Structure 1
């Protein structure tokens, strides 16, 4: 288990794991009691996932739905709290089912303690979703 790792380093490692389609590795960056929130999630989509197991279940099918090619324009800002960073970034790739381009801007507020993510608020744009009946992970 990693310890004393800066929040920005953990976040960058997570991006590399997502690009490698290593979802189990990405989930291993999470604390057992970690919380993942989606404040702008549309109706019918999860707004909050409690615990590493729930986050793992949610993310399991991610590469089957989104083929992420790159995260250009990643800017990581240190907050006044050492364990928390604010991230502005863009994810690009393709939607697997339709083969259409995927291009999403994100802002995330991420807290890391003892080298593990404890809280992650993902402010993604629900207006970019073509079909709100199907989420990117296949977990309706």
Structure 2
């Protein structure tokens, strides 16, 4: 088991791609049948994405709500095929309002591709479609 204070290179590359609006670059880290779970999402929001098509549809809406910024306070723990990342994201809404999101990701990779990502993020802090926190879906 190893602990680091940076994002794994493969994850940083995928986040950079997502930040640039390159969904193919984001999806490149996932196996074609990979799963992205959002266990803390409210009942009326997406909680599980299976495969590239579902992930693409969901993540394509991100650019309508959020400009991805920097990640600080990173702690990465690797153990075999599993990686746990804790980080604080400093982003902006499209109107320029700062958004600070705290992430905990449990990630399993096989053959260099993410097969399962559990994405624990504070759903009340995440911007919703249509603007600010708590706005209608």
Of 111, 116, 120, the residue aligned with 1:114 is: 111
Q: Which has the higher contact order (CA 8 A, sep 6+)?
A: 1
Mapped contact 2:99–2:125 kept (Cα < 8 A): no
Q: How many residues align?
A: 125
- Long gaps (5+) in structure 2: 1-6, 127-132
TM-score, length basis structure 2:
0.81
Q: How far does residue 132 in structure 1 lie from its aligned partner after superposition?
A: 5.3
Aligned to 2:134: 131
Question: What residue ranges of structure 1 are gaps of 5+ in the alignment?
Answer: 1-6, 135-140
Moved over 3 A (4+): none
Contact conserved, 2:78 with 2:84, CA < 8 A, in 1?
A: yes
RMSD, aligned CA = 1.8
CA distance in 1, matches of 2:85, 2:41: 18
Provide the secondary structure at the position in 1 that maps to 2:115.
strand
Task: Tell me which protein shows more strand as a share of its residues.
Answer: 2
1:28 is aligned to 28
Q: Scaled by the length of structure 1, what TM-score is found?
A: 0.80
